[in-house]
Amino acid sequence: MTTLAKPDNRPQNTHFSSGPCSKRPGWSLDALSDAALGRSHRAKVGKNKLKQAIDLTREILKVPADYRIGIVPASDTGAVEMALWSLLGERGVDMLSWESFGAGWVTDVVKQLKLKDVRKLEAPYGELPDLATVDFDRDVVFTWNGTTSGVRVANGDFIPDDRKGLTICDATSAAFAQELDFAKLDVVTFSWQKALGGEGAHGMIILSPRAVERLLTYTPAWPLPKIFRLTSGGKLSEGIFQGETINTPSMLCVEDYLDALLWAKSLGGLDALIGRADANAKVIHDFVDANAWIANLASVAETRSNTSVCLKIVDPEIAALSEDEQANFAKGLVALLEKEGVAFDVGHYRDAPSGLRIWAGATIETTDMQKLMPWLNWAFQTQKATFSQAAA
């Protein structure tokens, strides 16, 4: 087959990783010059910055005034685990899973917490479980946007207002890029290194009044590690939600998160962030529609992510290969893009079907996404030619 010539234009920002994600446009280390380095996070300057991070999070995400927001250890994973270990067990739980991280929460609830009354509602990569079968008299745990599958819930309409159980939502690839319906959500978690391109190791947990009531009226049967404790002496640890973190945060990372939040505010807040992500994702989806060798892993258009866009290679010759050969083909394609310096870290997640995963969140410029698309065609045809020659 005839290979394409290399495209003339290259993205200025080549960081399309789905986590840690790209920094905002124009970011430099100068943005961290006001960091409270060498100061205690419990000193006034540290507390003020942590409180500012909470307040800006509330403003930009449009979190209701009666919801608590806390900065917690261990990224989104820590925030989700805190919710699972602190809140579950009061009643049965429905665990929704359609990608790697959702499957991980199922494993933790079944094998680590060892809860007995657990229903698993699962779907393969590219699909959602039947949301009409969820029982909201029970607690419900789900990811809003599947980072490793590129499949999201279209909205919160499947969650009733009169639910009896709590809804615990891992929103790490949705926050700051998709509209979260907080009236339908009792716990929301995310991390700094996703949609705003912050640094790792810090998580956020947002609690509704219903979740707070559960914390105050229910005591789990298992011991809680210190970093999971949201109450003390039967009362909510209110300081956590004012910037008094459970353990020591990195003030350098706090400064970086503040920089990202202020950038988001300068754009116009959440609506502007969603608009940027939608525009980036549209570039990819339009490319997929125009090229028969590639397809969206998400089978239904309404559930396709506008952040972690996952793609599969459907060219008949490649699709006829074994799974291992298909995975090697995809890895070779990704390696070509990296070798040319046009896209880094765009391979599929290790547990996901082979293909590409391209981050389209708001910190990516649409012009860079547009410049990347011709390189995908070039890399595919180059890699296919290599495979054909090897098979000859």
Residue 2 pLDDT grade (very low, low, confident, very high; cuts 50, 70, 90): low
- Going by C-alpha positions, the residue among 187, 131, 180, 192 that lies closest to residue 160 is 131
* Mean pLDDT, residues 282-294 taken together: 98
Residue 343 pLDDT grade (very low, low, confident, very high; cuts 50, 70, 90): very high
Question: Considering the entire predicted model, what is its pTM?
Answer: 0.97
* Domains by residue range for the chain, with CATH: 29-266 (3.40.640.10), 269-391 (3.90.1150.10)
pLDDT at 359 over 70: yes
**Predicted pLDDT of residue 388:** 77
- Calpha distance 79→72 (Å, rounded): 6
* Mean pLDDT, residues 198-220 taken together: 97
pLDDT at 87 over 90: yes
